[in-house]
Structure 1
Amino acid sequence: MTINFPELARQAAADGAISAEEVLALRRVAWPDGRIDGGEAEAILAINDLVAEKPPEWTDFLVEAVGEYVLNGTEPKGYVADATADWLIARLDHDGRLDSQAELELLVRVLEKALGTPDSLKAYALAQIERAVLTGEGPTRSGGALDAGSITEAECNLVRRVIFASGGDRPAAVSKAEAEMLFRLKDATLGQPNAADWQRLFVQGVGNYLQGWNNARSVTRERAAELESFMADTSTGLSRFFGRMARTDAAALRTAARDVLGGSQTPTRDFAAEASAEAAVTGAEHSWLQSRIDADGHSDPLEEALLAFLAEE
């Protein structure tokens, strides 16, 4: 490596700025081996902490480089390890909050690209957005220029990206905790000049939780590691098995499979029927929804829009 990351961090701290040319140099030396290691990720975040003046190119580099380490720094690749998630939160957190839009974008991009993450990572990202809406302070608030108690287009976009991200407790679907967060945001921003997309996001998000298919689950990090280990096994027995498979006539394999499956009385799983059944709001879900609507003694326009959506569906 022609550029020493820790040394550059010290230089940047002394200068108080990093140029677009220096960002380009970092990008050139970061990717030749196709990976970012822990020391490089730490140094990049140190530069982010220490430098006040950063060009627009910095955000893209930070998100891509540190995201590469978080997503692919441990096996199986694409799954964020618990220890890595804890490290990232601790490294970005400044007294319970994030300082920049770049740091929040890093969290959101990891959640979008990951095959699986600890639930704590999504919860932390959503907490940052909720805090900004409620207090008027944080990385989505344009340096404090926006008032508390309303939700902006940027915040709507971030919430949508996070709650429907592939990483987290319900991949690409809204969890109960996330639906409750949407209700808190709704209650805190009623009657305010909110983003045009806010009502639709609230209705779609809570509706997804109530009608989503709970049996849709991603492969866990632990199970993915087991499968990778199995496929990487080069023991004699496994090699012989795959060798026999390779030498067996494909037509004979298909015939054998039909014979086995044809004699089985196990019914084929009807995924469409399962998903359709899950779309019905259960008694427990109805009680949960009613308790949220009754919390303040009356229904509001967003709750009425949600009820109309559920009735139509």
Structure 2
Amino acid sequence: MTINFPELARQAAADGAISVDEVLAMRRTAWPDGRIDQTEAEAILAINEVVSAKGPEWVDFLVEAVGEYVLNGTQPKGYVADDTADWLIARLDHDGRLDSAAELELLVRVLEKALGTPDRLKDYALAQIERAVLTGEGPTRDGGMLSAGSITEAECKLLRRAIFASGGDRPAAVSQREAEMLFRVKDATLGQPNAPEWQRLFVQGVGNYLQGWSGGRAITRERAAELDGFMSDTSSSFGAFFSRMSRTGAKDLRSAAHDMLAGAPARDFAGEAEAEAVVTSPEQSWLDGKIGADGQTDPLEAALLAFLAEG
């Protein structure tokens, strides 16, 4: 059986839904080998545009299938290429915004699973959440039923997942751009019935930017591609060496690794983390500017200062 994507799209447009059986059929026939190419990813996103009733089975399939292409469609796997990021944003964007929570979930899941992504992909995802909070419209706003100027529990969870995701300019840590976004959201939602999680997220997010350790960064996509190419090149003397080593057994490999690392200075991770926990003069100037912008210290800023003092 072969899935006829155009016909499925026309059917989905007619009734606004895609059945559980149709999703299962797509999993079995369009994705039998666990691989998705760009044509298939394009077709899945085209169907998503015309489906108004997006059940959990469809959302799961969309996120998994398109995410597979975005993350593993190019070498090195696990890294989102620049042109792939541009393709994904162009396919999801509708006049500067997303149309559904399913699309936002796709973006956030890619950020969480990626070893590295272009910064603009995370920036785009975060901008969607920020816009929804500020305007009351967007994929997190339940069709506009929630008022602008407050932040929901769902939005807090998405923000936390996105800013601490492995993909982006500061993997698993908060960048200055992200800390500034948290301040903007804080200013726009002061005194509103926000989710209880919001103050904790604001304090931890900005605190992480100022005091968090960023020494665990993954290698860049370009460097990963170089290493993949090197290890795949059997004409290289080192490539041939490791090829021979792979046939000698795990014990010999451990011995060789030990010899290679012997004498190498041990990395002081605790010392690095302790050093980065100190707020530098430029960081303090940045913080003073943010807190002093309106001439007063609000409750969230007070909580942030107390958190930093404890560190």
TM range (shorter): over 0.9
Q: Give the SS at the match of 1:228.
A: helix
Residue aligning to 2:99? 99
1:81-100 alignment runs, 5 A limit = 81-100=81-100
Cα distance in 1, alignment partners of residues 34 and 53 from structure 2: 28
Stretches of structure 1 lacking an aligned partner (at least 5 in a row):
none
AA aligned opposite 1:296: D
Residue aligning to 2:138? 138
Residue aligning to 1:190? 190
C-alpha RMSD of the superposition: 2.3
1:36/1:68 contact within 8 Å kept: yes
Deviation string, structure 1 residues 164-213 (Cα, Å, up to 9, x no partner): 00100100000000000000000000000000010000000000000012
Cα distance in 2, alignment partners of residues 251 and 115 from structure 1: 26
Cα distance in 1, alignment partners of residues 13 and 301 from structure 2: 50
AA aligned opposite 1:178: E
Deviation string, structure 1 residues 57-77 (Cα, Å, up to 9, x no partner): 211111111111111111111
Residues 270 and 114 of structure 1, relative CA distance in 2, 3 Å threshold: same
1:22-101 alignment runs, 5 A limit = 22-101=22-101
Residue aligning to 1:171? 171
Determine what percentage of the aligned residue pairs are the same residue: 76
Q: Normalised by the size of structure 2, how large is the TM-score?
A: 0.93
Residues 292 and 16 of structure 1, relative CA distance in 2, 3 Å threshold: same
Pick from 280, 290, 305 the counterpart of residue 282 of structure 1.
280
Residues 256 and 67 of structure 1, relative CA distance in 2, 3 Å threshold: closer
Shift of 1:251: 11
Shift of 1:24: 1.4
1:248-259 alignment runs, 5 A limit = 250=252, 257=259
Residues 59 and 243 of structure 1, relative CA distance in 2, 3 Å threshold: closer
Residues 130 and 257 of structure 1, relative CA distance in 2, 3 Å threshold: same
Cα distance in 2, alignment partners of residues 214 and 240 from structure 1: 35
1:210/1:285 contact within 8 Å kept: yes
Q: Paired residues, what number?
A: 309
1:152/1:194 contact within 8 Å kept: yes
Stretches of structure 2 lacking an aligned partner (at least 5 in a row):
none
AA aligned opposite 1:90: A
Higher Cα radius of gyration: 1
Q: Normalised by the size of structure 1, how large is the TM-score?
A: 0.92
Residues 40 and 300 of structure 1, relative CA distance in 2, 3 Å threshold: same
2:119/2:169 contact within 8 Å kept: yes
Residues 211 and 252 of structure 1, relative CA distance in 2, 3 Å threshold: closer
2:62/2:106 contact within 8 Å kept: yes
